[in-house]
Structures are given as C-alpha cells and as structure tokens.
Amino acid sequence: MKELLENINEKFGTPAYVYFEEEIEKRINKMWNIFKDINLTPTFAVKANNNPNILKLLNKYDFGADIVTIGEYKAAELAGIPKEKIVWNGNGKSKEEIQFLNKKIKYVNIDSFEEMRFWQENNNEEIEFFLRVNPDINAKTHPHISTGLKKNKFGIPIHMVEKVLKNFPDKRIKGLHFHIGSQITEIEPFVKTFEIAKQFSEKYNFRKINIGGGWGINYVGKELDLDKYKKKVIPLLKRYDEVILELGRFIIAPAGILLLKVVQIKETENKTFIVTNGGMNDLIRPALYNSYHEPVFLNPTENKKLADIVGPLCESGDKLVWDKILPIPELNSLIYLKNSGAYGYSMSNNYNSALKPAEILVTKNHETKLIRKRESYDDLYKNIIIDG
C-alpha cells in the first residue's frame, strides 16, 4: 500500500482521492449475499460519488443509478447506465426538469402530494411511481442526515398516503419508497420502517417497494450488522415482486481514501498542528458533521503528541482530525484519511479558490488510473466574464 500510494503521489500529486476496485467488489458481494432470495434492482446513489468511471464500474456489477439532479443524470449517462436502471429522487423536481428527464429514467420517487399534481400533466406510461413515505421514525443518526422524521422536509407524511392515492388514482403508482436517513448503524429503525411498509403495501396491494439506502459503515467502531439485517429485515421484504435499493455510502465509502501531503508542522503550547495540502474544501465531512476519518501515516515516527490535522485554508473550521495523540510526521510525508470514498469528492468545493483534487482508481490488477484530473486555475475562472 505504501509504495502504491507513494507512486500515486509522484505520478498524480496530492490531494487525491484514491479508490480501490477490489474493495468495491467485496462490498458488492456482501450486498448480493443478503438479497439472494429477493428480486433486487440495485442502484447506486450518485450523490455519494459522481465519477462516471465509478458508476461504469458499478454498472458492470448490475448497479443502476439513483439521481437527484440533471447533473447527476449526466454522470449516469456518461457511464452508459440504461434508462431502465435509473431512479429519480428529490423534493424539488421542477416542471422543466420533469420535461427533460421523464423519458430518460424509469422510476420516480414522488416526494409530495403537490409533486403528484405536476405529474398529472405528463402522460408517459412507461414511468413507475413510488410514493416516498415519511414514517416519522428516528434513524438515530446525525440530525443533518436524518430524513424520516416528520420535522424533516422529505416524503409524504404517513397519514397522507391515503389522500394521495384517493386524489390521484394513477396506474403508474407501483409502490412505496422509504429512506429514513444515512449512516444508520442500528437495525431497529429499519425493522420498524419495513413493518410499516409491509402493512401499507398489503393494504393497497403494492407488489413493489423502494427501500432507499442508509447502511452505516464503520467510521468509529460501529456499523450496521448485516447478519441482523438478513435475519430481521429481509423476511419483511420477501412478499414483493421487486425491491429497489439505493445504496451509496456502504458501497464506496470504505473503498476510497483521501491522500494528503504534510506541508507544515506547527508546534504550539496547546498542541501540534499537522498542516496538509488538503483541507475542508477537499473533505468537508469533519467540519460539517463532526465526522471522524481515521488518519494513516505512511511514515509514522515515534514522536507522538496531542495534535490536529488541518488544512491550509483561512478558517479555524478547516480541520480534518482533531485532539488526538498522533505520530508527528516529517515534512512532505504522506497521510491518508480512511473511509473517504463517499460524500468526499462529491461535496468538495472551491473555498479560498482552492482547486478540487484528482481522483484515481486502483484496478483489481493494481493498475492506477487517473479518473479525474486535478482542477486547473483555468477551470476555476472559466465562467468569469471580465467586465471592461
């Protein structure tokens, strides 16, 4: 691993996201193992990672795409994902987007009574609608990524499902959709959700269901127990003719790292700051959700101190890891942050006019492929119109 990453640094520079096909495949196999007896339509949540090369790879393993915007659709299109495998999610689908996308996708998750009205002007018979239900269940995850509580903006409140069905006797409605949050590590919220789903689906005779995503991975020693999922959730899904899944994080987070170079070591009375060439513009999850991405030092020293790993940007929130006893590395040595494959690059930004990082794929036969160039300064200012 060390040599591989040093080579990547030499060839492509840092900061860089590096993804490992082998790990992606392992995770996909784990997933298939759980759904053995189910007629599953797996899709990948493009919001977690929008690199078309990753989507293309996933498509080889039968994954379609779950998209929210036309931008995400374009990534799926570049990856060659067929329309039959595309699900469109979102709580703000505009009439213009509906016009553009309706013939390019198969499944639509309807977020509200009001959205259903928009679709009445559309007579595309090939679409399949799923009503996104807000079951008011606590997913016990970070408040920013919980979606199934009634205070959250998503879904049709459960008591309104009947009203939607009565007002819109639309044959295209094939079932319900549930996605109560992301990074869920407990089984109980899933069990509760799919018990409710079963009740409602029986009542309205729905033969299909979309079960969303949300499987929690191991950032800090806790993850969703898949054996339990198989035992307790799968039986609740056996009655359906088709189960659509929208996984993001589980598939790609542990298969990606963010590779960084140490550019400064700053000693203070309180602690040591390990400054890297990447920061919150590359990986915003620590700053935004307080999330922990375990650092790995390629050349660890014996010199351990209380330290933060920070970026070079101009705000104190620009930190990646904090208040840990860490081996203080040499200048120019490499560090990587684990579990960065999901919501890493896709949430990166240009704060401080920093350039977005490169993305590299390590294939199963250990080839390293550049799958997205580092941004250039020309890219950064390409939309500027100099006035006068």
Residue of 314, 325, 384, 386 marked active site: 314
d(CA 76, CA 62): 13
Q: At 262, which amino acid appears?
A: V
For ligand LLP, what does the binding mask look like between residues 103 and 132, x meaning CB under 6 A?
A: ------------------------------
Q: Residue 189 or residue 212: which is nearer to ligand LLP going by CB?
A: 212
Q: Any known ligand binding at 336? A: no
CB of 33 vs ligand LLP, minimal distance in Å: 17
Name the DSSP class of 329: P
Q: Residue 145 or residue 263: which is nearer to ligand LLP going by CB?
A: 145
Closest by CA to 244, choosing from 216, 210, 207, is 210
| Strands of 21-92, DSSP E | 40-45, 64-67, 86-88
Q: Residue 12 or residue 250: which is nearer to ligand LLP going by CB?
A: 250
- 137 contributes a contact to ligand LLP by CB under 6 A: no
Q: Identify the residue among 21, 66, 111, 359 touching ligand LLP (CB under 6 A).
A: 66
d(CA 354, CA 245): 36
Q: Residue 240 or residue 343: which is nearer to ligand LLP going by CB?
A: 343
Q: Identify the residue among 9, 14, 41, 182 touching ligand LLP (CB under 6 A).
A: 182
- Asked whether the beta carbons of 49 and 345 are under 8 A apart, the reply is yes
Q: Give the β-pairing of 64-67 and 242-247.
A: unpaired
d(CA 301, CA 319): 22
Q: Any known ligand binding at 247? A: yes
Residue 99 bears catalytic tag? no
Q: Residue 248 or residue 311: which is nearer to ligand LLP going by CB?
A: 248
Closest by CA to 197, choosing from 175, 181, 172, is 175
CB of 245 vs ligand LLP, minimal distance in Å: 9
For ligand LLP, what does the binding mask look like between residues 71 and 110, x meaning CB under 6 A?
A: ------------------x---------------------
Q: Any known ligand binding at 176? A: no
Question: Following DSSP, what letter does each residue of 284-312 receive, concatenated?
Answer: -HHHHH-----EEESS--S-EEEEEEE-S
CB of 342 vs ligand LLP, minimal distance in Å: 6
Calculate the CA dihedral of residues 36, 38, 41, 46 and round it to 10 degrees: -60
d(CA 198, CA 164): 18
Segment (H or E) for 177: strand 173-177
CB of 140 vs ligand LLP, minimal distance in Å: 13
Q: Any known ligand binding at 204? A: no
Q: Residue 188 burial (CB < 10 Å; 0-12/13-18/19+)?
A: middle
- 286 contributes a contact to ligand LLP by CB under 6 A: no
SS3 for 215? strand
Q: Identify the residue among 16, 28, 46, 48 touching ligand LLP (CB under 6 A).
A: 48
Q: Any known ligand binding at 246? A: yes
Distance from the Cα of residue 100 to its chain's centroid = 24
Name the DSSP class of 146: B
CB of 256 vs ligand LLP, minimal distance in Å: 12
Q: Residue 48 or residue 233: which is nearer to ligand LLP going by CB?
A: 48
How many residues can be counted in the chain?
Answer: 388
Write out the catalytic residue numbers: 314
Annotated binding site for pyridoxal 5'-phosphate, which residues?
214, 246-249, 343
Residues making up the annotated binding site are 214, 246-249, 285, 289, 315, 343
**Footprint of ligand LLP (CB under 6 A):** 45, 47-48, 66, 89, 145, 179, 182-183, 212-215, 246-250, 285, 289, 342-343, 347
Binding site for substrate: which residues?
Answer: 249, 285, 289, 315, 343
